[in-house]
């Protein structure tokens, strides 16, 4: 395989599991040095790092809970101290808090507010810390969700809102960073087979009914979503910026 990311440094937030781990591996397979973050899963993060190093690249795991906005600058400092630069930021880390309706008098404000903190403010803090230090010609990719644009069931307003917020923010910083040839895009996957999906499975419609809404009647594989992230991060996507790309098997068309 051509190692199109040789010499590039990637920061993948939330790389200990799920899509982040799969995408970190896809970048490493194509030659990138990769830093991953995690909040709690130290052992899983270290296992991912070992798998990345086995592909012949440099890799580190950094514990950095992005609910704490003050963690952003030290995170970027560590990546640059380790690898000397940063070329590609993938804002992947996120949580899903779903199931309660907005008129539920017992809505768990604290839990739902934390979701805004992690998914939106944490991603923004990381981006602000990274932007001045990102290489010219670099890439910023936000992992949104199809729910940021299309909401086919109840109980997901806050999650959908967090993902929709990323769209406007990404367009804004695409304008700001365009003069440096840095592209900024949002990739919006549909359902993927990860822990997050299992965690919220009880809040979704029955699986068959949900799949029936998809022209391509299945979940995405992590590998195909990871490759789409790599495409947006790669040399052939230098003229795609400010875009929101759905990857949801046609759900919502």
For ligand NDP, the binding residues (CB under 6 A) are 13-20, 37-41, 44, 64-67, 92-96, 118, 143, 145, 189, 191-192, 194-197
Task: List 91's β-bridge partners, or say none.
Answer: 142
Cα angle 48-71-184, degrees, rounded to a multiple of 5: 75
* Least Cβ distance, residue 7 to ligand NDP (angstroms): 26
Beta strand pairing call for 86-91 and 9-12: parallel
In this structure, are residues 51 and 75 in contact, taking their beta carbons and an 8 Å threshold? no
Q: Which of 38, 159, 169, 239 is catalytic?
A: 159
Q: Minimal distance in Å, beta carbon 203 to ligand NDP?
A: 12
Cβ-based nearer residue to ligand NDP, 194 or 241: 194
* Bridge partners, 88 (sequence order): 10, 139
DSSP conformational letter for 220? P
Q: How far apart are CA 215 and CA 251, in angstroms?
A: 7
Nearest approach, Cβ of residue 156 and ligand NDP (Å): 11
Judged by CB, which is closer to ligand NDP: 177, or 225?
225
Residue 159: active-site member: yes
Chain centroid to CA 58: how far?
Answer: 21
Q: What tokens were used for 156?
A: 């997901």
Of 56 and 153, the one with the shorter C-beta distance to ligand NDP is: 153
In which residue are the tokens 């052939």 written? 236
Residue with smallest beta-carbon separation from ligand NDP: 18
- Which of residues 89 and 191 has its CB atom nearest to ligand NDP in the complex? 191
Shortest distance in whole angstroms from residue 208 CB to ligand NDP: 17
Asked whether 24 and 46 are in contact (CB, 8 A), the reply is no
Residues 6+ apart with CB under 8 A from 237: 139, 183, 185, 231
3 vs 82, which CB is nearer to ligand NDP? 82
User: What amino acid positions are annotated as catalytic residues?
Assistant: 159
């Amino acid at each position: 395989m051509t190692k199109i990311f040789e010499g590039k440094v990637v920061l993948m937030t939330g790389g200990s599991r799920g899509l982040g781990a799969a995408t970190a591996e896809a970048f490493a397979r194509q030659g990138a040095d990769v830093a991953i973050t995690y909040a709690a899963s130290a052992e899983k993060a270290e296992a991912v790092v070992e798998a990345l190093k086995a592909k012949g690249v440099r890799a580190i795991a950094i514990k950095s809970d992005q609910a704490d906005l003050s963690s952003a600058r030290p995170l970027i400092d560590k990546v640059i101290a380790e690898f000397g630069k940063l070329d590609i930021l993938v804002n992947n880390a996120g949580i899903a808090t779903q199931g309660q309706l907005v008129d539920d008098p017992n809505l768990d404000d604290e839990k739902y507010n934390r979701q805004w903190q992690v998914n939106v403010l944490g991603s923004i803090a990381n981006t602000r810390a990274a932007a001045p230090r990102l290489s010219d010609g670099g890439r910023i990719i936000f992992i949104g969700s199809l729910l940021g644009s299309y909401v086919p069931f109840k109980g997901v307003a806050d999650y959908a809102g967090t993902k929709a917020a990323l769209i406007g923010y990404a367009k804004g910083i695409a304008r700001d960073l365009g003069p440096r040839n840095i592209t900024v895009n949002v990739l919006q996957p549909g359902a993927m087979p990860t822990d997050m999906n299992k965690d919220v499975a009880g809040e979704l419609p029955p699986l068959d009914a949900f799949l029936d809404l998809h022209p391509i009647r299945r979940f995405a594989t992590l590998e195909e979503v990871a490759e789409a992230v790599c495409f947006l991060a790669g040399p052939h996507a230098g003229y795609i910026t400010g875009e929101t790309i759905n990857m949801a098997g046609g759900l919502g068309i």
